[in-house]
Chain A
């Protein structure tokens, strides 16, 4: 039987607690200085160049990477603490977060030395924003249907086509994208895609905003018109991008941002309920706390396995599946539990404003970064069903 799900009871090592205290102190100062309002997610920009630079100066971006590239050589578990504290504070980290989580590790693994030496230290300093170019108008969850083409030319490649739903593209310095360099083969429909590093300032790139139902502007359409990308910007094997994804996906999918996206409404509910909630509210709150604790213990466990050099792809997908469904349902559950609060409850307006935002954001949580259906397919494969 191939079914064995492993979630060792990993604990954060003691050095994490000093780090956590540093991060909380830093965040408290930034909040006091008015950089962002932790109680009003959705207000103000979700990215802030100066703030990202100050985080970089603290050594909290790319912190697991080698020192020669500006990293700190700290553990995944230490990074975990930083990530969760920023997330819980609703801090505007969008500028550097994708680079820190996904793009940097790809560059570390596949970029030539001179590119690593150039770009990674700038990511660590909080100077660079990355976008991920995956989805296309005709290719969303089905990544390997991507058609946007990179054609071989002298010294590099010319890209034509478009990417869509690309978060950050309007503020990004670089994109890591999947482009078609060969047609798929009969034997392997995943064949023929190559990952490229694209400078977003390259001539021929147009970024068109797509506004979301929340009123926010995160994602974009990116149109490529004969965009030149030099040879050394191919990341990894030509035509072989499909072989390169696994451990990065486990990391992308299992982090604290996969269940804490709407966490603030739970904190605000506790404030609204006060010290002596009625039995219905107490029971509801206790269940949510138990579910949250469970998700976090699962997520920390996956971080520990990654730190130990394993590739817990199925476990990581399970964390995202359960975590995103939980954070999606949370605002509605909180709404139910808050339904009978008295009108004079002090923070009622704040809670209602937060709920309105969280309920509007909720639908995307189970779509971005791998839909529920795709994740369950991966889990089913891990179980030996496909």
Chain B
């Protein structure tokens, strides 16, 4: 993993996003016709299966590369299941399974949804809040059986989808498995359980959120410098400057904690106390930054930022919605707090200092 490859992969992704998924252009389009060419371009570069080894049908990029693509996707408030396909591919790869072409999503996407796999290999259960459930061709599933966790690839059409929408209007549904026979399945490797999957998903969402916040900050500063009121740009008023400085603080926190968590997973995977502290903190702090940051950005933009026509909501509603996926900040905070309490007071500082 070198800094250079990191740049090249993320820059390729950013170029495609800028050409085919510019948030302002997308926001004006009446239909979803732009999604086809975007997905085709992404698929041609191998980005959706970046976390799948080449011999399993993917493009074999590093974990760090994949996260840098997701940060770029966040900067464009991307609305195709790229993050989901990447993470589904990662999950399949953990069990040595091949990844199919086409968009995927994954289940479970919420920490309390348990999906069962029977001795006959059939899958039962309900996964709520699955992002892009109705847009995906396949699902990567982590199911729990008598022999422990298994990872399986399932056709979307073999499941029942109760379609819904999230805050941002993106497809997010409940996936019902009723005796579904997977296309392939394999035991999950040691240490990868539902909690490990949530942890990976949490960092994915944190990285996307940080990217979105970076874009929101840039938009807000640019607007404050050009919008004139009381005969000067509003960015010249101290009250507005203080708000934007607070926004910068939230963005900085999100960038730092998500980057640190992504680096941790890239170096050492999803198991262990360090990964837990990093991932949980990233999800918690990025969710807080999403709430605080979107409120400030909307305040800067005033009424125009509250319109459908303006692209700001493409970022703010998506960040707010991402808070709910793979464990919300309240879930992770309670889990992290319990762990810290179990370790005891005198082990708290050593844990913090270990990172």
Contact = CB atoms under 8 A, between A and B. Distances in A.
Asked if chains A and B come from one complex, the reply is: yes
B252 A315 contact: yes
Q: Chain A, interface size: which category?
A: 35 or more
Contacts of A291: 281, 284-285, 288
A275 B339 CA distance: 9
B281 A271 contact: no
B337 A9 contact: no
A167 interface: no
Given A270-B345, A285-B341, A385-B224, A5 B355 contact: no
B348 A270 contact: yes
- Chain A interface, >50% SS class: helix
Interface in A269-318: 270-271, 273-277, 279, 281-287, 289-298, 301, 314-315, 318
The CB with the most chain B CB atoms within 10 A, among A8, A295, A318, A375, is that of A318
A321 B252 CA distance: 11
Interface string B215-231: 00110011011000000
Interface string B270-281: 000000011011
The CB with the most chain A CB atoms within 10 A, among B245, B280, B353, is that of B245
A386 interface: yes
Interface stretch (B147-155, B171-179, B311-319, B328-336): B328-336
B256 A301 contact: yes
Given A20-B353, A84-B353, A296-B352, A385 B341 contact: no
Contact of B248 (A81, A283, A297, A383): A383
Contact of B340 (A8, A9, A270): A270
B203 interface: no
Nearest to A377: B241
A283 B337 contact: yes
Interface string A1-23: 10101111101000000001000
B249 A3 contact: no
Given A275-B344, A285-B337, A289-B277, A385 B221 contact: yes
A318 B250 CA distance: 9
B259 A318 contact: no
A297 B355 contact: yes
A218 interface: no
A9 B352 contact: no
B274 to A, nearest CB: 10
A376 interface: yes
Nearest to A385: B235
Contacts of B242: 373, 376, 380
Contact of B249 (A9, A274, A379): A379
A37 interface: no
A143 interface: no
B285 A376 contact: no
A276 to B, nearest CB: 7
Contacts of A285: 333, 336-337, 340-341
A322 interface: yes
B252 A298 contact: yes
Contact of A321 (B238, B249, B260, B264): B249
B255 interface: yes
A383 B244 contact: yes
A71 B277 CA distance: 35
B236 interface: yes
Interface string B297-341: 000000000000000000000000000000001101111111011
A376 B237 CA distance: 12
B349 A286 contact: no
Interface string B60-104: 000000000000000000000000000000000000000000000
A34 interface: no
Nearest to A270: B345
Interface in A99-129: none
A5 B340 contact: no
A46 to B, nearest CB: 20
A266 to B, nearest CB: 7
Contacts of A84: 353
B170 interface: no
A215 interface: no
Contact of A380 (B244, B256, B335, B355): B244
A88 interface: yes
Contacts of A277: 337-338, 341
Contacts of B249: 318, 321-322, 379
Contact of A7 (B259, B345, B355): B259
Contacts of A343: none
A111 to B, nearest CB: 34
A232 interface: no
Contact of B285 (A270, A294, A315): A294
A182 B286 CA distance: 49
Contacts of A30: none
Contact of B253 (A273, A294, A373, A376): A294
B333 A283 contact: yes
A314 B285 CA distance: 20
A268 interface: yes
Nearest to B255: A7
B259 A8 contact: yes
A322 B245 CA distance: 10
B39 to A, nearest CB: 28
Given A3-B218, A282-B337, 10 more contacts: A9-B256, A267-B346, A274-B341, A276-B342, A287-B337, A290-B284, A290-B336, A293-B281, A298-B256, A385-B225
12 contacts: A3-B214, A88-B349, A277-B341, A279-B334, A282-B337, A290-B284, A291-B285, A293-B277, A293-B352, A314-B248, A380-B235, A385-B244
Interface of B: 214, 217-218, 221-222, 224-225, 235-236, 238, 240-242, 244-246, 248-249, 251-253, 255-257, 259-260, 262-264, 277-278, 280-281, 284-285, 288, 329-330, 332-338, 340-342, 344-346, 348-349, 352-353, 355
Which A-B residue pairs are the 4 nearest by beta carbons? A286-B337, A286-B333, A282-B337, A286-B336
